[in-house]
């Protein structure tokens, strides 16, 4: 009984995030003209999948007490690369997908190397690299266009057996095959230790620098997946498509229960936070909120989410002050 109580308390933020998501989803399905149909749920999962992926990447960086301002730019760059390479015969498509994922990972490695070895603050380093990645994306795709393999796009945005959204299955597989092995590894445990007490982690002999580079590299990989999925949705590339995703990814991480101070985060909570943001946008659309006013309300949600994270950070710091 005691262990169950501790387990519940440990996952309270994640459970709260999913509780809020459930309320929002019920409200969304209640006002949607087509109700809780398979097509509506598939569209809902498709709308939130890209943000969920990029927010998972942001979670890894936030765990290290950092923030990746370039993650939206990496996403856009990979989306543009996908619109050039992910087409042709099956082998060419497979190689194109691999190239997109490699580009995102390399961008993340560059971010991590600059933060770790140049000793530049993450927000400054990634702001600079994000500008560079946006420039490269514009070189690859100066105007929106291109093409992404239609067959793969239909498969990834459709359903399995006319019931289960493919995007849901893909998201679950990514969490199981990428996040879970990383979380259980020594590097994953180091990531959690970094945010809680970086100096103590270093003194314990943990490979702090390596863990940080892995965090940024994996964030780049998730951003690449998100850019690729957006390519499947739009069947094209756009260098400006990642702009709103950077701040939204931070908001999703905070809504999912993560601490901006690092060391505390849940990927499942982050996924719930991402779908919350997307559901709020859909609710505003179906309740008749004027399109010009929607960014205002979305901005208020972002401010509240980030303020919530900042409040948690101040509370932790105030507690630490007591022991000084």
Q: How far does CA 281 lie from the centroid of its chain?
A: 17
Q: How far apart are alpha carbons 183 and 40 in whole angstroms?
A: 33
**214 and 112 in contact (C-beta within 8 Å)?**
yes
Q: How far apart are alpha carbons 12 and 1 in whole angstroms?
A: 16
**59 and 267 in contact (C-beta within 8 Å)?**
yes
Output the pLDDT for position 313.
54
Output the pLDDT for position 309.
58
Q: How far apart are alpha carbons 185 and 49 in whole angstroms?
A: 25
190-242 confidence digits (pLDDT tens): 888 776 666 766 667 678 889 899 999 999 999 999 999 999 999 899 999 99
**97 and 158 in contact (C-beta within 8 Å)?**
no
Output the pLDDT for position 10.
53
Q: What is the pLDDT along the chain (324 residues), one digit of tens a residue?
A: 555 554 455 567 788 888 889 999 999 999 988 877 888 899 999 999 999 999 999 999 999 889 999 999 999 999 999 999 999 999 999 999 999 999 999 999 999 999 999 999 999 999 999 999 999 999 999 999 989 999 999 999 998 887 889 999 999 999 899 888 888 888 888 888 776 666 766 667 678 889 899 999 999 999 999 999 999 999 899 999 998 899 899 989 988 888 777 777 789 999 999 999 999 888 888 888 787 777 787 778 777 766 665 665 555 455 444 444
Q: How far is CA 268 from CA 55, 110, 154, 235, in A?
A: 11, 27, 26, 28
Residue ranges covered by each domain of the chain: 38-242
């Amino acid at each position: 009984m005691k262990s169950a109580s501790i387990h519940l308390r440990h996952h309270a933020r994640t459970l709260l995030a999913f509780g809020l998501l459930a309320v929002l989803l019920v409200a969304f399905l209640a006002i949607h003209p087509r109700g809780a149909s398979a097509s509506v749920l598939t569209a809902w999962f498709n709308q939130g999948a890209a943000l969920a992926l990029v927010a998972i990447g942001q979670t890894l960086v936030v765990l290290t007490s950092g923030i990746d301002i370039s993650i939206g730019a990496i996403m856009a760059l990979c989306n543009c690369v996908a619109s050039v390479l992910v087409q042709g015969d099956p082998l060419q498509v497979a190689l194109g997908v691999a190239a997109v994922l490699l580009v995102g990972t390399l961008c993340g490695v560059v971010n991590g190397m600059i933060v770790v070895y140049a000793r530049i603050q993450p927000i400054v380093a990634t702001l600079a690299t994000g500008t560079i990645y946006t420039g490269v994306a514009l070189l690859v795709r100066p105007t929106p266009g291109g093409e992404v393999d239609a067959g793969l796009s239909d498969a990834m945005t459709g359903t399995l057996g006319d019931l289960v959204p493919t995007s849901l299955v893909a998201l679950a597989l990514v969490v199981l095959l990428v996040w879970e092995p990383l979380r259980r590894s020594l590097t994953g445990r180091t990531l959690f230790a970094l945010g809680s007490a970086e100096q103590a982690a270093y003194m314990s002999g943990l490979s702090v620098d390596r863990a940080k580079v892995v965090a940024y590299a994996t964030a780049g990989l998730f951003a690449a997946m998100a850019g690729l999925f957006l390519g499947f949705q739009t069947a094209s590339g756009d260098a400006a498509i990642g702009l709103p995703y950077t701040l939204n990814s931070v908001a999703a991480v905070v809504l999912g229960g993560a601490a901006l101070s690092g060391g505390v985060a849940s990927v499942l909570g982050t996924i719930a936070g991402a779908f919350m943001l997307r559901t709020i946008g859909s609710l505003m659309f179906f309740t008749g909120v004027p399109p010009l006013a929607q960014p205002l309300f979305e901005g208020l949600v972002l401010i509240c989410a980030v303020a919530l994270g900042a409040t948690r950070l101040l509370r932790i710091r105030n507690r630490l002050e007591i022991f000084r």
